[in-house]
Structure 1
Amino acid sequence: MKKNPFKEIINDKDVPEEVKEVVMSELNSTNLLTDFADLFTLKFGSVFEDLIKNKKKK
């Protein structure tokens, strides 16, 4: 069975707090951008489509 090369490279199992903060900040930024993209693409199109359908009914 092959040995895991990452276990040989990474000896220290604790990650510094600064690195954790940077990673979490990047994840939060990515999540925010994803939410904005979702809002202005999928949801905006759905709302616009509903408005057009409702105007045609009146």
Structure 2
Amino acid sequence: MMDAFKAVFWGFFGVRRKSEYEADARRLKPQAVIVAGLVAAAVFVLAILGVVKLVTR
């Protein structure tokens, strides 16, 4: 599962080597990547909301 989170992190960051992407595509289960993506997106949104709330106080 940590490999899925690592792949999603690099996907969010936008820096991937093609060989690493292809290796992840062969190795990781789609369900794990989907769950990791949803969790990462939720954490990102909550972090943005927290920063906005902190700044607007």
Q: TM-score range by the shorter chain?
A: 0.3 to 0.5
Higher relative contact order by CA 8 Å / sep ≥ 6: 1 or 2?
2
Compare CA radii of gyration and give the structure with the larger one.
1
In the superposition, the TM-score normalised over structure 2's length comes to 0.46
